[in-house]
């Protein structure tokens, strides 16, 4: 019985701490969020293209060496 009360108090304290931490979060405004989203998408597409080109280059190189 006593352990159940202790667990309930611990859960309440944990949720209270979680709530206070969420209140400390500084959320971005829509303009900043939009700019950062576009930046992430652009960088992702560029890196994807770079990785694709490297993959094709390595693939052709390996195929060339195998067919020697």
What are the residue boundaries of the structural domains of the chain, listed by start? 2-66
Residue 29 has pLDDT above 80, yes or no: yes
Rounded average pLDDT over 22-44 = 95
Predicted confidence at residue 1, as pLDDT, reads: 57
Cα–Cα distance between 53 and 46 in angstroms, integer?
Answer: 11
Residue 40 has pLDDT above 90, yes or no: yes
């Amino acid at each position: 019985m006593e352990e159940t009360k202790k667990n309930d108090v611990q859960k309440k304290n944990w949720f209270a701490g979680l709530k206070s931490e969420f209140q400390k979060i500084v959320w971005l405004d829509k303009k900043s969020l939009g700019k950062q989203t576009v930046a992430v998408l652009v960088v992702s597409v560029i890196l994807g293209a770079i990785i694709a080109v490297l993959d094709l280059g390595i693939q052709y190189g390996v195929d060339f060496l195998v067919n020697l």
